[in-house]
Amino acid sequence: MLKLKRRLSTEKMAIKYTTIKKKLKIEVDNKTDSGLAHLTHYFQNHKNGTSQFFKSGAKEYLVEQHEKLNIVGDPDFQYYFPIKWDVPFPPPENPKFKFIDLFAGIGGIRLAYQNLGGKCVFTSEWNSYSKKTYEANFGEVPFGDITKISENEIPDHDILLAGFPCQPFSIAGVSKKNALGRKHGFLDETQGTLFFDIARIIKHKKPTAFMLENVKNLVSHDKGKTFIVITETLKELGYSIHYKVLDGKHFVPQHRERIIIVGFREEISKGKENFIFPKLPEPNIKFKEILESNPDNKYTLSNHLWKYLQDYSAKHKAKGNGFGFGMTDLEGISRTMSARYHKDGAEILIPQNGKGPRRLTPRESARLQGFPDSFLIPVSDTQAYRQFGNSVVVPLMQAVGKNVVKEVLSINELRKSKITIYG
């Protein structure tokens, strides 16, 4: 009974994150700097060893806000703890592993790994609108441009996660044999690309594992050269590589193929990890199941736009091209949703009785990527379409992540036992 009273007393004393947001006027926009990222990262990590990476920046930001807003009381962290995380996806209380979230977008991969018991200790995303959505759901503001963040500023972690943009590399005159024989090898060839930032962080932090997500065409991009450089760089950094193209249609009613690259540090796993990609369930969700019952009429295409799309399709069909709109089979699955969906919704149109077709609503777009309805959408429709079009199929990431985490926990447990025996 005494323990229960103490626990209840502690809970009563906890300050809601939304209360802190209001007090400090925490708002994410295109003027948001790293101070807010430091503060929210410190708030979420003040009890673990990663707090040292954020405390100084967080303290500086807190002092600035107190002075700017004329807040009564000392700018001391003790007045802000403990925090009750009244956000849709709060940090886990007893995490099993740590991960970082690079090129984070709105947090689709984070959500998957957080569902598996992981604690995110660092996140980076350059787009201010995505940061706004991320903070609304996780209570943490991502740091900005990863190219300007030193690897020394990133905490240790078990798993590195990243859905990075696809860019070409220049490997003219560099054979695999020669590259592997050079001092820096393939890592040199990634200079100036965003993949280089992933590679330099892996090289410095040496996580047990990583999972990278990209478009299916990464394998054939630039006649296969891009994928060669990526895989050889990762091997050169000391990781055994596993990769596979997987389709989100096994979890959501959308044809969405993505390549997933998973790696394990050979120094630890000795290349003997038991990782395999999961066997995916048979697709059984129909497109109509993700639709809202009474969508606003504003999502119905105007007569002018609908005529334009039909004329455009007919013109290209006459030329033998496949360009055109996609009228979705309500009993089947849709085409791949892209970031351009906000322009006209052409790739995924929804038929309606007695009038022209409509586009997806933002909530339907979220469902099409496997986000739960509790996921907040605090941005305009245009930004929401861009965000979900750029995001991942969350349950697919979680299915792969389950096997990655299982292996990482096994490796970590083995390391602990060796330390106990030989330490």
Catalytic residue positions, numbered: 166
Question: CB-based contacts of 285: which residues, under 8 Å, 6+ apart?
Answer: 251, 252, 253
Could you give the C-alpha distances from 396 to 14, 206, 259, in angstroms and in order?
Answer: 35, 25, 11
**331, 286 in Cβ contact below 8 A?**
yes
Could you give the C-alpha distances from 162 to 60, 94, 299, in angstroms and in order?
Answer: 29, 24, 33
**11, 84 in Cβ contact below 8 A?**
yes
As given in the structure block, the two tokens for residue 110 are 């984070």
Q: What phi and psi values does residue 280 have, to the nearest 5 degrees?
A: -85, 145
d(CA 364, CA 324): 22
Strand order through the sheet with 239-247: 118-123, 97-102, 159-163, 209-215, 257-265, 239-247
Residue 321's CB is within 10 A of a number of other CB atoms, namely 10
Q: Which long-range contacts (CB under 8 A, 24 or more apart) does 388-392 make?
A: 388/106, 388/337, 388/341, 388/362, 389/337, 389/338, 389/339, 389/340, 389/341, 389/342, 389/365, 390/105, 390/339, 391/105, 391/106, 391/108, 392/105, 392/108, 392/109, 392/112, 392/163, 392/213, 392/258
**Please, what is the angle between helix 55-69 and helix 34-45, to 10°?**
120
d(CA 11, CA 312): 60
Closest CA to 44 of 8, 98, 6, 7: 98
Q: How far is CA 136 from the centre of its chain?
A: 15
As given in the structure block, the two tokens for residue 323 are 């360009």
Pairing of strands 350-352, 159-163: unpaired
